Chains A and B, each alone.
Chain A
Amino acid sequence: MAVSSPTTDLAPARSARHRGRLPDRVFHGLSAGAGWLILVVLAAVAIFLFLRAWPALSASAEDLNAISWMNGASIATYVGPLIFGTLLSALLALVIAVPLSLGIALFISHYAPRKLAQGLGYVIDLLAAIPSVVYGLWGALWLAPVLDPVFGWLSGTLGFIPLFEGYTAPARNVMAASVVLAVMILPIISAVAREVFLQTPRLHEEAALALGATRWEVVRMAVLPFGRSGLISASMLGLGRALGETMAVLMILSPGYAVSFFLLQPGQHQSIAANIAAKFPESSGLSVSVLIATGLALFVITLLVNLAARAIIARRAEFSGAN
């Protein structure tokens, strides 16, 4: 944006011709090769997943039904509920995490005392450093009992809404898994949002203050319009992470293969990633291919989310007031 990107036009052609020609070419070639390797790896991910998934995609219904845990006559009917579970848990996590992250980012960038701000940012970053398996342990053994009375109360008072109907202890439902997912994506969303908010042109803020705006009005009129695209991209990053997160869902959620919106009932949902991790160690042959086919679906979904995020950012960038 503001920083002028280092251009290379100034490289002295002269001296390159003298001494540095061959090493220069080698170095250029190496670094360009590494860049192209990224493309190769991504293509390889798609190709190899597809190759290994192909036996399952082309298998007959009888062969598929021979797999003990297979429910549904085809890959599509098997993966459908899993996709639903994945999207549901990730979107729930996003609904919880985005408002909180917005608050955290604003607190660190504009509300906390200047001296404390950096330290507080580091504290939130600590959340990102914690391994997912530890989140799984914490969610299953600490958070689930804590959430139990909350869910009980929610189901008791708001149970007439189908969403919260019929809570049964222990809290191994999609809501509990989403709470842990939300905690896991908090640091990513808030870190990106914080960086963007800190980049708000100082002049914009001071101008708003000089016009007599309160702190909230400064945030609303100068900071948020500037940071909106950043917040959206941060949320998309968080969504991508939540879609693919395995361990938290695997260790907390009691799995089921229904397409239902009963957020507080166990045995209703399962995410693709957790399903793969749960079944993979005991699978062989065609069942591995089925699991890899579901992994391919997950890959495509996260790819689409990322592409959508890029598209939104690219369009918003023009209006953000930056550059």
Chain B
Amino acid sequence: MTTPTPLARAATSAPLEPEPQTPSPLAPRGGRLPRYVPYAVGAASLVFAYLLLLVVASPGIPSVVASAAALYAVAITIVSRVVEGHRWAVDRLATTLVTFAFAVALIPLVSLLWTVGSKGAALFSAEFLTTDMVGVFGDMTSGGVAHAIVGTLAVTATAALISVPIGLLTAIYLVEYGRGRVAKGITFLVDVMTGIPSIVAGLFAFALFTLIMGPAYRSGFMGAVALAVLMTPVVIRSVEEMLRLVPNELREAAYALGVPKWLTIVKVVLRTAVAGIVTGIMLAVARVIGETAPLLITVGILTRSSWNVLEGRMATLPVFAYNQYQQGGVGVDRAWAAALTLILIVMILNLAARMISRVFAPKGAAH
């Protein structure tokens, strides 16, 4: 470490500062606050917020919690400022704000999972998963997502089939072969590719296929190409990261034994990194399986099952959910149930990724 700039700054801005326990101008003025004080202040601000809202407006849980949080942040800073001094007051304020930021981020997650779970449960059943939408119209509550599950699996599997070999080989090139300008250029392009908006990927697939096959052409393969454009950079990034973690000693040992380079890569490097690679690919699939916009403009929607990826429209879960939401009425219930199905599939993929990484991990390898 030859660049201790932050350190140097720390040293100059707080010269010769003693440990916080010893009394000095920089240490807490009257010692630290006792541990119970933050809790007491928290409780007090809750009560106070409730009483305040009782007078001003009607207290609901969200408004009480929100105003109590604001009160707490102000109160704890003032208390700390009086007892402990300026620096500790700032520290307490920062701790409070950072914790609140995290708590705020949990609100959408919890409410989203809760809403999807509770509203999706209305129609979610074994029947919902095993029937399609043939002959379902008006206010009928029957019908399901079997065809959309089929389509989603077919399109996503095709996309994976395209992007995994390309991603794997590109990552191998970047880590094992590439040097200098070419490798830097490709790394840069992968970064650029990561930033392609999903709808643009869809438009690209649409433009490509309609120029070749005619303007009315729609197929699962078209959607798969769009998804592959989105998925490939994700695969490259995660595989690259995993390959870089393989210790150089392993490669050197293989070379020392006279193993050719390609065999070293296949048998040593890939074998060592296989757990991480599989996990990375599964996560890339999970990320791409919920893409809606590119499929909306390339694959469209259909009421029955179709495994034919090369010809004709297909139903996919995300597009199905959007389509049903647009129709309103019972459709909204179906949209929630389809959303629940989609989230369950994504969660299963995520869990499976973690399980597989455990199963595949070479014995004795460091995680």
Residues of A within 8 A of B (CB): 3-8, 10-12, 14-16, 18-21, 23-24, 26-28, 30-39, 41-42, 44-45, 48-49, 51-52, 99-100, 102-104, 106-108, 111-112, 120, 123-124, 126-138, 140-143, 183, 186, 190, 201, 203-204, 207-208, 211-217, 219, 221-222, 225-226, 237, 240, 243-247, 250-251, 273, 276-277, 280-281, 284-285, 288, 291-292, 295, 298-299, 302-303, 305-307, 310, 319, 321-323
Residues of B within 8 A of A (CB): 1, 3-7, 9-11, 13-14, 17-20, 26-27, 87-88, 90-91, 94-95, 97-102, 104-106, 108-109, 111-112, 115-116, 119, 165-170, 172-179, 182-183, 185-186, 188-201, 203-204, 206-208, 210-211, 215, 229, 232-233, 236, 243-246, 248, 251-252, 255-256, 258-263, 265, 286-287, 289-293, 296-297, 300, 318-319, 321-322, 325, 332, 335-336, 339, 342-343, 346-347, 350
Contact B321 A244 (CB under 8 A): no
Task: Report A-chain residues with C-beta under 8 Å of the C-beta of B243.
Answer: 6
Contact B95 A111 (CB under 8 A): yes
Contact B335 A137 (CB under 8 A): yes
12 sampled A-B residue pairs with Cβ under 8 A: A8-B177, A35-B173, A49-B203, A52-B203, A107-B101, A131-B346, A137-B336, A138-B108, A214-B20, A221-B13, A246-B292, A273-B197
Chain B residue nearest to A318 (CB atoms) is B3
Task: Report B-chain residues with C-beta under 8 Å of the C-beta of A130.
Answer: 112, 290, 343, 346
Most A Cβ at <10 Å: residue of B196, B244, B255: B196
Interface of A is mostly: helix
Contact status of A15 and B116, CB under 8 A, knowing A42-B189, A226-B6 = no
A227 to chain B, nearest CB (A): 11
Most A Cβ at <10 Å: residue of B167, B174, B245: B174
Q: Assuming A131-B339, A207-B4, A302-B200, what are 15 further A-B pairs, CB within 8 angstroms?
A: A3-B244, A14-B258, A38-B232, A41-B229, A99-B101, A133-B318, A138-B111, A222-B10, A237-B195, A240-B195, A244-B197, A244-B198, A245-B198, A302-B197, A306-B192
Chain A residue nearest to B185 (CB atoms) is A39
**Docked complex Cα distance between A4 and B248 (Å):** 9
Contact A103 B19 (CB under 8 A): no
Contact A243 B10 (CB under 8 A): no
Contact A44 B166 (CB under 8 A): no
Which listed residue, A32, A103, A298, touches B100 by the CB 8 Å rule?
A103
Contact B300 A281 (CB under 8 A): yes
Task: Report A-chain residues with C-beta under 8 Å of the C-beta of B108.
Answer: 127, 138, 143, 183
Contact A298 B7 (CB under 8 A): no
B100 to chain A, nearest CB (A): 7
Contact status of A52 and B101, CB under 8 A, knowing A35-B182, A213-B10 = no
Contact A323 B10 (CB under 8 A): no
Contact A103 B97 (CB under 8 A): yes
A252 to chain B, nearest CB (A): 11
Contact B195 A303 (CB under 8 A): yes
A221 to chain B, nearest CB (A): 4
Which listed residue, B17, B109, B190, B260, touches A211 by the CB 8 Å rule?
B17
**Docked complex Cα distance between A35 and B322 (Å):** 36
Contact B339 A23 (CB under 8 A): no
**Docked complex Cα distance between A12 and B345 (Å):** 46
Which listed residue, B115, B211, B347, touches A51 by the CB 8 Å rule?
B211
Contact A38 B193 (CB under 8 A): yes
Which listed residue, A14, A45, A141, touches B332 by the CB 8 Å rule?
A141
Chain B residue nearest to A120 (CB atoms) is B102
Chain B residue nearest to A50 (CB atoms) is B207
Chain A residue nearest to B300 (CB atoms) is A281
Which listed residue, B5, B166, B206, B255, touches A11 by the CB 8 Å rule?
B255
Contact A207 B111 (CB under 8 A): no
How many residue-residue contacts, CB under 8 A, span A and B?
353
Task: Report B-chain residues with C-beta under 8 Å of the C-beta of A120.
Answer: 102
B291 to chain A, nearest CB (A): 7
The 10 closest A-B pairs by CB, nearest first: A244-B197, A20-B260, A131-B290, A103-B101, A34-B169, A212-B17, A246-B293, A31-B173, A27-B262, A214-B91
Chain B residue nearest to A283 (CB atoms) is B297
B241 to chain A, nearest CB (A): 10
Contact A30 B199 (CB under 8 A): no
**Docked complex Cα distance between A25 and B353 (Å):** 33
Chain A residue nearest to B2 (CB atoms) is A323
Contact status of A15 and B259, CB under 8 A, knowing A10-B252, A34-B170, A42-B189 = yes
Contact A298 B197 (CB under 8 A): yes
Task: Report A-chain residues with C-beta under 8 Å of the C-beta of B211.
Answer: 48, 51-52
**Docked complex Cα distance between A30 and B232 (Å):** 16
Contact status of A16 and B260, CB under 8 A, knowing A203-B1, A212-B14, A222-B10 = yes
Task: Report B-chain residues with C-beta under 8 Å of the C-beta of A19.
Answer: 260
**Docked complex Cα distance between A146 and B348 (Å):** 30
Contact A131 B292 (CB under 8 A): yes
Contact B210 A52 (CB under 8 A): yes
Task: Report A-chain residues with C-beta under 8 Å of the C-beta of B342.
Answer: 131, 133-134
**Docked complex Cα distance between A259 and B265 (Å):** 55
Chain B residue nearest to A28 (CB atoms) is B177
